[in-house]
Amino acid sequence: MSYQDDEEGVPFDGNPSSFPKDFGYGPFDGDQEIMSSSGDQKPRILLMGLRRSGKSSIQKVVFHKMSPNETLFLESTNKIVKDDINNSSFVQFQIWDFPGQIDFFDSTFDYDMIFGGCGALIFVIDAQDDYLEALNKLNLTVTKAYKINPNIKFEVFIHKVDGLGDDFKMESQRDIHQRATDDLNDSGYDQIHLSFHLTSIYDHSIFEAFSKVVQKLIPQLPALENLLNILNNNSAIEKSFLFDVVSKIYIATDSTPVDMQSYELCCDMIDVVIDVSWIYGVKEEQDAAAFDEQSFSLIKLNNGTVLYLREVNKFLALVCILREDNFDHKGTVDFNFLIFRNAIQQVFEFRNKCQATQMTNSIGSPVVNGNSVMAEGLSN
């Protein structure tokens, strides 16, 4: 079965193939001026914060595979730059990187347009610097954006925490949280909810934080989570992540808590698979794909744990963690994975149908919780 995805998206044909060989999202659209995109319908993630707080570095490291050390040479952003993240059907948005010195009283910016179509606003605070000025700017930005669009998700990245000790990190987070919410209450906006994340480009925390932001923009998230729960329960899997391979952000995981170490292991596995695929895989234009539906990646750790990766489609991969003892029924896991992949495909199709018919309320549909699309055929 196959179907065409959105015009600009990558067609999902339900069949696995090689991971993208360039491991990028295509050319960086940095020079595009903001006005050209006013008609774009993709959800928008805005990156804001003071100068040198690390906005461009975050975007380059997460979405363009820049190594953290190279960000030292990034030049200051002096106009709004827009980056299209056109990946699998679930991961499609635009990131707008704002210059640090943006002035909200500058009439050349059309704030109704900027905030109107915005899904999430990430405000980056440099935790290694004095953050009082940043907090003022945060308050100004959030209240202005909320007045225009109360549906925006507000995310605060307390960034560059790599330079801080554990105690100081927690203390900074507590202090910033307290001051930011007090400021909002004082200005009469106690209904605004801010989410806080401790981040650094030098470890996996930035990918984890971005995963959580992106997940909030995926309306199908509950269905995906439920599918993963069902898969885990029927296959003795302890933890599973649905990864966007190019960026290593996870677009869904099961409902057990995420521990950072497991996430890091899975990210490292993806790096290994990409590297091996790059060395030994065949070129995309060649007929025989390096991956087919029989292909998989398996890493056995010396603590009796197994990491198991299967491609869901060109950009999505399922990475599972399970006990080695439970992996002797690999056939069952594989069989259930095929059912899972079909179910994901149905979620895609349903989303496309909804978009086509402008259906926004999907309550009661068969894929809202994923139960019925996986109910038949699972083996355990």
Interface residue list for ligand GTP (CB under 6 A)? 49, 51-57, 71-72, 74, 76-77, 99-100, 159-160, 162-163, 200-202
For residue 153, the one-letter residue type is K
Cα(152)–Cα(193) distance, integer angstroms: 10
Tokens of 245: 């391979």
Least Å from the CB of residue 141 to ligand GTP: 13
Give which of 323, 300, 380, 312 is closest to 348, Cα–Cα.
Answer: 312
Q: Is 125 in a helix, a strand, or coil?
A: strand
Least Å from the CB of residue 375 to ligand GTP: 44
Q: By C-beta, is 48 or 317 nearer to ligand GTP? A: 48
Q: By C-beta, is 55 or 248 nearer to ligand GTP? A: 55
Least Å from the CB of residue 57 to ligand GTP: 3
Q: By C-beta, is 127 or 318 nearer to ligand GTP? A: 127
Q: By C-beta, is 102 or 192 nearer to ligand GTP? A: 102
Kindly provide the residue ranges of all beta strands, DSSP E only, lying in the chain, ordered along the sequence.
44-49, 81-86, 92-97, 118-126, 153-159, 194-198, 239-244, 249-253, 297-300, 305-311, 316-323
Cα(285)–Cα(277) distance, integer angstroms: 15
> Which residue in the shown chain puts its C-beta closest to ligand GTP?
100
Least Å from the CB of residue 263 to ligand GTP: 17
Least Å from the CB of residue 63 to ligand GTP: 13
Give which of 135, 132, 128 is closest to 164, Cα–Cα.
Answer: 128
Cα(97)–Cα(80) distance, integer angstroms: 6
Cα(272)–Cα(86) distance, integer angstroms: 24
Q: By C-beta, is 44 or 159 nearer to ligand GTP? A: 159
For the chain, the maximum distance between any two Cα atoms, rounded to a whole number of angstroms, is 65
Least Å from the CB of residue 202 to ligand GTP: 6
Asked if residues 99 and 16 have their Cβ atoms less than 8 Å apart, the reply is no
Contacts of 115 by beta carbon, 8 Å cutoff, 6+ apart: 46, 121, 144, 145, 148, 149, 152
Q: By C-beta, is 34 or 74 nearer to ligand GTP? A: 74
Tokens of 232: 């885990």
Site of tokens 């690390």: 54
Site of tokens 């006013």: 38
Least Å from the CB of residue 52 to ligand GTP: 4
Q: By C-beta, is 127 or 317 nearer to ligand GTP? A: 127
Least Å from the CB of residue 97 to ligand GTP: 7
Question: What value does the CA radius of gyration of the chain take, rounded to a whole number of Å?
Answer: 21
312: left (phi over 0), alpha (psi -120 to 50) or beta: alpha
Q: By C-beta, is 128 or 305 nearer to ligand GTP? A: 128
Q: By C-beta, is 53 or 346 nearer to ligand GTP? A: 53
Least Å from the CB of residue 362 to ligand GTP: 38
